[in-house]
Structure 1
Amino acid sequence: MNLYNIKHPEQQVNFAQAVRQGLGKDQGLFFPATIPQLSNIDELLALSLVERSQKILAALIGDEIPADKLNAMVKNAFTFPAPVVKVADNIYALELFHGPTLAFKDFGGRFMAQALATVRGDGKITILTATSGDTGAAVAHAFYGLENIEVVILYPKGKISPLQEKLFCTLGGNIRTVAINADFDACQSLVKQAFDDEELRQAIGLNSANSINISRLLAQVCYYFEAAAQLNTEQRQNLVVSVPSGNFGNLTAGLIAKTLGLPIKRFIASTNANDTVPRYLQTGEWQPNATVATLSNAMDVSRPNNWPRVEELFKRNGWNLSELGSGALNDAQTETALKAQYAQGYLCEPHGAIAYQVLKDQLQEGETGLFLCTAHPAKFKESVERILGIELPLPDALDKHNKLPLLSDEMDNDFATLRAYLLK
């Protein structure tokens, strides 16, 4: 698999290099030089999730990883289902929260851990990543206990849910967590500064597990095919997918699936009050505002890292950005959407509620709508209980971590302090 740096196309790497490096020169994102067009979509959709994903990832990655190794990586990573559930007439939910940390990030995080273990080579590796909620848990659990791999996760103090925090800040061992006194964009900026520090990168074997890492992104392509496999032929032909969007890795993966040949009519990027992309699509001007805290905290991102990949795909495929739907909900509208879902018999959480409502508002006659449910409602227990007036039992995966003490360090938004911390 050949990839190039979007900022500096002359920088070319293979899959193993892209996985190990994370980011390219000048913080550029790596992107596949070619994406094949799959001709046997119906045959693929008839397979199981694991078998289908093995074939999709083999087509994307090529023969760089032997087939038996790649098959084992997928089998070890995708050990849980992604069911499609009917919510309303012509509207379905793709539930991506049935993995060990109850969030969609389990797909990418677990596959990346398998990929890095396969291509790592010798020497120490330090995974440095920022999280706005669910990435932290998925990465922490995927890499927990792996030899010679240390994980450092930055998150905005007080701006993720208490249960999200407990899920990845109670492990210890090779997992270090740092609460930064700032917002998620500041955490991302610290990660980027670390990657720009060549001496630091070499000293600690720096790598990132954010959706900027290509292995995570490719893994996420697979569940779009899984969603289509659970719908009938007629529904697939008029499928509209609403993606709750923060850093825009999830939407990028969906667009790669469409490029491969999956019949998705169109996508909708659904955001909260941090609506940089919806405003950009309306005005043509990229004007990020200061990030604001919302009920849907995993989407509290004003400068989405993956947006250049979205634009690259549109450009390469000859698509027009006007074909990409978008919408944004504030917290009051999110609460109303969550209540509407619950009244229909479907229990969701703020991110999924936004994706549902924006989809419902924009779905046209004859179309089938699918929205992504990216996290289990219990991960947002306090807000869901308050909004819906119910009591939510904690799943075992959350309950056991909820009883453990937090092990996080706290740090101001200062790169020199983080650098010293990483070199300790």
Structure 2
Amino acid sequence: MKFYNINNHNEIINFEKALKIGLGKNQGLFFPIFIPKINLKNINKILDMDFINRSSYIISLFIKNEISLENLTKNISKAFNFPLKLINITNNISCLELFHGPTLSFKDFGVRFMSQMLHYFNKQEKIIILTATSGDTGAAVAHAFYNIDNIEVIILYPKNKISVLQEKLFCTLGKNIKTISIEGDFDDCQKLVKQSFEDMTLRKNFILNSANSINISRLIAQICYYFEVFAQILPDNRNNVIISVPSGNFGNLTAGLIAKSMGLPIKKFIAATNSNDTVPRYLKNGIWDPQKTIATLSNSMDVSCPNNWPRIIELFQINNWNLNQLFSQSTSDYLTEQSILKLYNKYKYITEPHSAIAYHALESKITNKKEFGIFLGTAHPAKFQKYINEVLNITINVPKKLTYYIKKENLSYNFPNNFSYFKSFLINNYI
């Protein structure tokens, strides 16, 4: 399959090139030239497969002309080597826990698949991966690419705006992983990455890539766990599924909408945001008006200008869907905390701010007992240990994979929010 640049439809490339360059001309995102369709009979067949083989089949529909199914399955087995758990909260609300990977975040799925694909396709060229993170992406990228030959990783993150545990997970590795705290917010970090891709001097001297959700490989990988949702629920519930997605950069929701477009019978999506409510306001009044980013409890969703939104618009236009079909809700820090308390006090379920926002949005949209609601659990609560302990007045256990990094030295640089300064760093250190 080929992929086209949303901002320049004349730029059409294969998966390998889209994987390697990340962004197209004019900072355009790549998108499949068509969405593979699966009829309901075949969907029921693939739901009977195990997660690895089902994921290999789904992804092969997008890239089978560039990699054999056998090699694809080998790489997916390495990438998706951890469980997904559907946890029942009530009779008709469940949480799909996507945080059982090596960095305790759903982003392990997309980034680990991307790293395996880059390793598979790379012809010994030196690639520099630039990535901005508001929390969990940084750890997932760092661990997925750590010690991979010919790949250097530079991760930008907003200084003092992510949790200490999140920071320690990816700022302590060293070797081919460089981390830089920026005096600004996530959108400032993302802007520096985009400016780098547009700078002709950098493009001339380096092979640049990004492991953010702008990379099409991450998006394709995330489609797979929406099919896993349906594999884990009872067949009687499959026609009335509502999925609430914690949304920051909107890659997670984009993948879900692609799954729906492929034929997965998802009844309704809810784009659950924090106080950075650009999308809920846009869906209400039709005006795209990003405001200054607000720091919240759910820091990984502190994004005012979500990069994947053009893909969602593209998908709705292709399918002739009406944007009124997409529900979106903004949740304050106060209501986020109340949802964390409710889930624990009433159901003895411990969650963290991002997942709690998805739960809060879902609970208000379930209108009858026939509907089956699922909210995505995107991060392990232990990553917010101090906050969760204070709110719930308990002591939650921290997994060993976290405690190991807590004790290690933070190796980050600290830079001003200045592109010339960052550009000089790249030139001086990598040419």
TM range (shorter): over 0.9
Task: Quote the Cα distance in structure 2 between the aligned partners of 1:280 and 1:407.
Answer: 40
**Counterpart position of 1:19:** 19
Please list the CA deviations of residues 192-235 of structure 1 after superposition, one character each: whole Å capped at 9, or x if unmatched: 00000132023121100000000011000001111110001121
**Letter matched to residue 352 of structure 2:** E
1:419 matches 2:423: yes
**Letter matched to residue 4 of structure 2:** Y
Between the two proteins, what is the percent identity of the paired residues?
Answer: 55
Aligned length: 424
Structure 1 residue 120, shift from structure 2 partner? 2.1
**Counterpart position of 1:202:** 204
Please list the CA deviations of residues 325-360 of structure 1 after superposition, one character each: whole Å capped at 9, or x if unmatched: 111111111000110111111110000000001000
Task: Quote the Cα distance in structure 2 between the aligned partners of 1:264 and 1:5.
Answer: 27
2:402 counterpart (398, 401, 405): 398
**Counterpart position of 1:144:** 146
1:323 matches 2:325: yes
Please list the CA deviations of residues 375-408 of structure 1 after superposition, one character each: whole Å capped at 9, or x if unmatched: 0000011211121111122101100000101000
**Letter matched to residue 354 of structure 2:** H
Task: Quote the Cα distance in structure 1 between the aligned partners of 2:82 and 2:262.
Answer: 24
5+ residue gaps, structure 1:
none
Instruction: Write out aligned runs for 1:16-415 (5 A).
Output: 16-39=16-39, 40-343=42-345, 344-365=347-368, 366-415=370-419
377-386 or 351-360: which moved more? Answer: 377-386
Structure 1 residue 47, shift from structure 2 partner? 0.7
> In the alignment, is the contact (CA less than 8 A) between 1:242 and 1:359 conserved in 2?
yes
**Letter matched to residue 25 of structure 2:** K
Task: Quote the Cα distance in structure 1 between the aligned partners of 2:199 and 2:121.
Answer: 23
3-state secondary structure, aligned to 1:127: strand
Provide runs of 4+ in structure 1 moved above 4 Å. none
> In the alignment, is the contact (CA less than 8 A) between 1:83 and 1:227 conserved in 2?
no
> In the alignment, is the contact (CA less than 8 A) between 1:329 and 1:354 conserved in 2?
yes
Structure 1 residue 263, shift from structure 2 partner? 1.0
118-127 or 160-169: which moved more? Answer: 118-127
> In the alignment, is the contact (CA less than 8 A) between 1:111 and 1:215 conserved in 2?
yes
3-state secondary structure, aligned to 1:243: strand
5+ residue gaps, structure 2:
none
Task: Quote the Cα distance in structure 2 between the aligned partners of 1:130 and 1:303.
Answer: 13
Please list the CA deviations of residues 221-275 of structure 1 after superposition, one character each: whole Å capped at 9, or x if unmatched: 0011111100011211100000000000000000011111111001000000000
> In the alignment, is the contact (CA less than 8 A) between 2:246 and 2:272 conserved in 1?
yes
3-state secondary structure, aligned to 2:238: helix
Structure 1 residue 88, shift from structure 2 partner? 1.8
Structure 1 residue 67, shift from structure 2 partner? 2.0
1:2 matches 2:2: yes
Structure 1 residue 89, shift from structure 2 partner? 2.8
Structure 1 residue 45, shift from structure 2 partner? 0.6
Task: Quote the Cα distance in structure 2 between the aligned partners of 1:271 and 1:280.
Answer: 13
> In the alignment, is the contact (CA less than 8 A) between 1:295 and 1:383 conserved in 2?
no
Structure 1 residue 72, shift from structure 2 partner? 1.1
Task: Quote the Cα distance in structure 2 between the aligned partners of 1:239 and 1:311.
Answer: 22
Structure 1 residue 286, shift from structure 2 partner? 0.6
Please list the CA deviations of residues 147-169 of structure 1 after superposition, one character each: whole Å capped at 9, or x if unmatched: 11100000000000000000000
3-state secondary structure, aligned to 1:405: coil
Task: Quote the Cα distance in structure 2 between the aligned partners of 1:198 and 1:98.
Answer: 40
**Letter matched to residue 111 of structure 1:** F
> In the alignment, is the contact (CA less than 8 A) between 1:178 and 1:411 conserved in 2?
yes
> In the alignment, is the contact (CA less than 8 A) between 2:124 and 2:150 conserved in 1?
no
Please list the CA deviations of residues 13-33 of structure 1 after superposition, one character each: whole Å capped at 9, or x if unmatched: 100010000000010000000
> In the alignment, is the contact (CA less than 8 A) between 2:153 and 2:176 conserved in 1?
yes
Task: Quote the Cα distance in structure 1 between the aligned partners of 2:30 and 2:76.
Answer: 21
The TM-score, its normalising length taken from structure 2, stands at: 0.97
3-state secondary structure, aligned to 1:88: coil
**Letter matched to residue 38 of structure 1:** I
Task: Quote the Cα distance in structure 1 between the aligned partners of 2:111 and 2:74.
Answer: 16
3-state secondary structure, aligned to 1:347: coil
**Letter matched to residue 23 of structure 1:** L
**Letter matched to residue 15 of structure 2:** F
Task: Quote the Cα distance in structure 1 between the aligned partners of 2:163 and 2:206.
Answer: 30
3-state secondary structure, aligned to 2:118: helix
The TM-score, its normalising length taken from structure 1, stands at: 0.99
